[in-house]
Amino acid sequence: MKNCIRRIVETFVRNDYSEQTKKEVWKWFADEEHAEEKEQALHMLWEKAGMESAPANMNDSLKKMKQNIGFQTETRRKKLLPSWIWQAAAVFFFAVSTVSITLMIYFSRIEDVDLIENYTPVADLRQVTLPDGTEVILNSKTTLLYPAQFKGDTRSVYLIGEADFKVKPDKEHPFIVKSNGFQVTALGTEFNVEAYTDDDCLTATLLSGSVQVDFNNLQSQVILKPHEQLVFNRSTKEHQVHCPDMEDVTAWQRGELIFSEMSLEDIITRLEHKYPYTFVYSLHSLKKDRYTFRFPAKTTLPQVMDIITRVVGDMEYQIKENKCYLIQKKR
């Protein structure tokens, strides 16, 4: 069993699987069954990657990530790592894919590095100033992982979610945002990156300056000009470069909601980022049409849903506690 689990972990981390497969493996990994074997498999993988010990503050960072995604802390009688460590590590390995391993290795090889994990909860925005002076605005439900001090040849951070970066110029030390087979490299510029794990699309938008975007597991590359946007679909492996309205791109920073030619499923995903509610619905009952909506700042969820259901026509909604139920109208 021990060798079998080790092979499963190593095989999964080194290959690219469908989102459904990733979710199933993630769920299996976070389950308490065979916890000791899974933990040992992780340790072996970390050692093979050149990590004899975790970077300073890594456990604290993983613990925060565990709390942010809702895992429950449990104590074990055996001399194992607490369950949250390997569960959160599962999130780190599987939810954000193998790029996270690269980042952890990068940080671990720099002496005396402390990692900081900054999480923005649902329905909130947060402004962060990084050690080099780079200013970052984090969107709702976003995690940013970065060192307390940048050391080495680059300034690397890891993003899950969406953020706007105003990079402090430093030609000798490129600024790199990494996220799930996707990275944006800049010297001194402003750009927006959207990389939520529940969204098939990864998006990089350049507001000013120049950036290099590596995507498709870093096998493809595009250099963006100001006001250009790259959208990469992880499922189809297709990408597009176009010029969106910059006011739409930065609307979330002003608290606005912009949906442009989006499916109901994608709109619901965005609403779950914005509001502290879980949507309950039947996927096959959703129309395949695409919709465009604009909502000003401070619009409540009932106000949003009143308009959406009115436009869609054959759908009603009910909000109970922290859930929003979508119900198909009876004919």
**More reliable by pLDDT, 283 or 176:** 176
Q: On the CB side of 104, how many CA atoms lie within 13 Å of its CA? A: 25
283-318 pLDDT, tens digit per residue, is: 887 888 999 999 999 999 999 999 999 999 889 999
Please tell me the class of the 255-328 domain. alpha beta
Report how far residue 23's alpha carbon sits from residue 39's, in angstroms, rounded to the nearest whole number.
19
Name the pairing type of β-strands 323-328 and 278-280: parallel
Residue 24 or 298, more confident: 298
pLDDT at 50 (0 to 100): 43
CATH number for the domain running over 114-248: 2.60.120.1440
In the block, residue with structure tokens 């969406």: 162
pLDDT at residue 160 greater than cutoff 60:
yes
Lowest mean pLDDT among 38-52, 167-181, 226-240: 38-52
Provide the token pair at 283. 């996927």
Q: What is the pLDDT of residue 331?
A: 64
Tokens 């993630």 sit at which residue?
26
Confidence (pTM): 0.70
Which one has a higher pLDDT value, 28 or 217?
Answer: 217
- Among the residue ranges 44-48, 121-125, 322-326, the one predicted with the least confidence is 44-48
pLDDT band at 96 (very low <50, low <70, confident <90, very high): very low
Q: Where are the domains of the chain?
A: 2-95, 114-248, 255-328
